[in-house]
Amino acid sequence: MTPPIQFPSDFLWGCATSAYQIEGSPLADGAGPSIWHRFSHTPGRVQDGDTADVTCDHYRRWESDVDLIQSLGMNSYRFSIAWGRVLPEGVGRINAAGLDFYERLVDRLLARGIQPMVTLFHWDLPAALDDRGGWLNRDIAQWFAEYADIVFRRLDDRVKYWTTLNEPWVVVDGGYMHGVLAPGHRNLFEAPRAAHHLMLAHGAAVQAYRASGRNKIGLVVNIEPKYPASQSEADLAATRRAEAYMNRQYLEPALLGSYPKELMDIYGEAWPHWPDADLKIIRQPIDYVGVNYYTRAVVRADPNAWPLGASTVKQKQHTHMETGWEVFPQGLTDTLLWIKDNYGNPPVYITENGACFFDPPQVEGPLLEDPLRIDYLRKHITAVYNAMQRGADIRGYFAWSLFDNFEWAFGFSKRFGLVHMNYETLQRTLKASAHFYAKVIASRGAALTE
Ligand code: PNW
């Protein structure tokens, strides 16, 4: 008989959100607009014309939302700060009301026994900085470090876990390569520059943190493990390119101080030669790696797929989410062991993991029964445990997401929440998965096998 699952008593159990996706009131109390505010207000960019002007109204309901998190037994909560609430123009003038909001939030979380994990950048770049080139302007490393330093000095006496960037790959691939996310550019020459400047900003913020901070700071990356569709030379090479592009382009400079050589094959003449001095700035010792995991990809060579020459082969035998993402829990174990074996077994937090499904229709009322989400959580949290049993240093798990919320270019059409959001009444209602996750937390994982 296998012994019952039992996670360590100091394991962090929480859920994750981001500012633009849940707060609403994006211009309240002196905040400057973000590129996501602009993007969502540009016709044709977001599905159904949705914007996050109201979304979950968390900016006004934060107190009861913290109580809700506590009621689920979570001991941590991952959220992001909207840069433009703190600095309306992105640099220079501080907007006191913006910082005050996050200070009140942190204080209430701590009063409820919930550790905040604070992300400094979850995609909502101040529009004023985009007007100066945004991530294409090398000065942004300094702008970001200055913003980060202001927040550190105000909150590091209370916040133990900091994150510089959330998923630089998504920012670049969606925002500068394919144009589906803000700021909506589609340009092979811009993408590597934006990527490099994101990493310089990460390094500069970590440097600033070492001067004033006392706790822990890390980087959050999305990892989607790549498996070859066949053993043909073409498919194996395509798989290596896909893995370098999505999984190693950001981890390797941050942790090893170099870029994967495959990037030169992908970008060709669009790949600049970056000076070694830059890679020294990027490779700052960090205290943990945050991993966002949703799915895997089975990869085949595809000359028509720009710019990678690789595409994903759908695995029809498996369940898929509404986003088309395959449900593949083993990929999470594989990802965590891959990090352990290739990057020196750093402390890791699963900073996002979750699913959106069409939950079974009910005659009336919100969709509260979500067995597919429960199944997803059960199998993925077990996958985390399996990696820990094999030596991976995993310190915590954050479900994406607390609420159904503004799912970027999908608008409100995709629901990832443990808690159902009624966008008319703004009523929050626990789904069955929220009750399930609370039981997993209370039993330190034992409820996974019930
Ligand atoms: C993450 N991909 O985005 C984000 O951090 C969240 O804000 C978002 O709501 C969540 O996942 C669900 O989509 C991702 O294509 C977007 O691999 C795309 C990918 C990965 C993560």
Q: What is the pLDDT of residues 244-272, one digit of tens each?
A: 999 999 999 999 999 999 999 999 999 99
Mean pLDDT score across all residues of the chain? 97
| Predicted local distance difference test score (pLDDT) of residue 364 | 66
Lining residues, ligand 1, CB within 6 Å: 18, 21, 166-167, 170, 222, 224, 292, 294, 352, 400, 407, 416
Task: Please give the number of the atom of ligand 1 that sits closest to the Cα of 246.
Answer: 17
Determine the residue of 123, 124, 170 to mutate for testing ligand 1's pocket, defined as the one with the most ligand atoms within 8 A of the Cβ atom: 170
Q: Which range, of 128-132, 286-290, 359-363, 388-392, averages the lowest pLDDT?
A: 359-363
Specify the 3-state DSSP secondary structure of 352. Answer: strand
pLDDT tens digits along 73-122: 999 999 999 999 999 999 999 999 999 999 999 999 999 999 999 999 99
pLDDT tens digits along 390-406: 999 999 999 999 999 99
pLDDT surpassing 70 at residue 1: no
pLDDT surpassing 60 at residue 129: yes
Q: Which range, of 162-176, 259-273, 335-349, 364-378, averages the lowest pLDDT?
A: 364-378
pLDDT tens digits along 198-235: 999 999 999 999 999 999 999 999 999 999 999 999 99
Distance between CA atoms of 159 and 246, rounded to whole angstroms?
Answer: 30
Q: Is 162 within 8 Å of 213 (Cβ atoms)?
A: yes
Average pLDDT, integer, range 364-388:
92
| Predicted local distance difference test score (pLDDT) of residue 2 | 74
Kindly give the distance from the C-alpha atom of residue 16 to the centroid of ligand 1, in angstroms, as a whole number.
Answer: 12
- Nearest CA residue ID for atom 20, ligand 1: 222
| Predicted local distance difference test score (pLDDT) of residue 89 | 98
Neighbours of 232 (CB within 10 A): 12
Q: Is residue 337 very low, low, confident or very high in pLDDT (cuts 50, 70, 90)?
A: very high
Task: Please give the number of the atom of ligand 1 that sits closest to the Cα of 416.
Answer: 12
Nearest by Cα to 81 from 111, 118, 50: 118
Task: Please give the number of the atom of ligand 1 that sits closest to the Cα of 167.
Answer: 5
pLDDT tens digits along 432-441: 999 999 999 9
**3-state SS of the chain: helix, strand, coil percent to 5?**
45, 15, 40
φ, ψ for residue 346, nearest 5 deg = -75, 160
Kindly give the distance from the C-alpha atom of residue 117 to the centroid of ligand 1, in angstroms, as a whole number.
Answer: 18
Q: What is the pTM of this model?
A: 0.97
Task: Please give the number of the atom of ligand 1 that sits closest to the Cα of 356.
Answer: 12
- Nearest CA residue ID for atom 8, ligand 1: 407
pLDDT surpassing 60 at residue 363: no
Kindly give the distance from the C-alpha atom of residue 222 to the centroid of ligand 1, in angstroms, as a whole number.
Answer: 8
Task: Please give the number of the atom of ligand 1 that sits closest to the Cα of 354.
Answer: 12
| Predicted local distance difference test score (pLDDT) of residue 3 | 80
Distance between CA atoms of 166 and 119, rounded to whole angstroms?
Answer: 7
Distance between CA atoms of 306 and 376, rounded to whole angstroms?
Answer: 31
Q: Is 381 within 8 Å of 336 (Cβ atoms)?
A: no
Strand 115-121 with 76-80, pairing:
parallel
Kindly give the distance from the C-alpha atom of residue 212 to the centroid of ligand 1, in angstroms, as a whole number.
Answer: 31
Distance between CA atoms of 356 and 433, rounded to whole angstroms?
Answer: 12
User: Is 3.40.50.280 the CATH classification of the domain at 12-449?
Assistant: no
- Nearest CA residue ID for atom 21, ligand 1: 222
Straight-line distance from the first to the last Cα atom of the chain, in angstroms, rounded to the nearest whole number:
15
Kindly give the distance from the C-alpha atom of residue 353 to the centroid of ligand 1, in angstroms, as a whole number.
Answer: 10
| Predicted local distance difference test score (pLDDT) of residue 358 | 75
Distance between CA atoms of 423 and 427, rounded to whole angstroms?
Answer: 8
Average pLDDT, integer, range 334-355:
98
Distance between CA atoms of 183 and 442, rounded to whole angstroms?
Answer: 42
φ, ψ for residue 150, nearest 5 deg = -60, -45
Q: Is residue 21 very low, low, confident or very high in pLDDT (cuts 50, 70, 90)?
A: very high
Judge whether 352 counts as a catalytic residue.
Answer: yes
| Predicted local distance difference test score (pLDDT) of residue 450 | 86
Distance between CA atoms of 320 and 311, rounded to whole angstroms?
Answer: 17
- Nearest CA residue ID for atom 12, ligand 1: 407
Domain boundaries, given as residue ranges, for the chain: 12-449
pLDDT surpassing 70 at residue 360: no
**Residue tagged active-site, from 262, 352, 424, 450:** 352
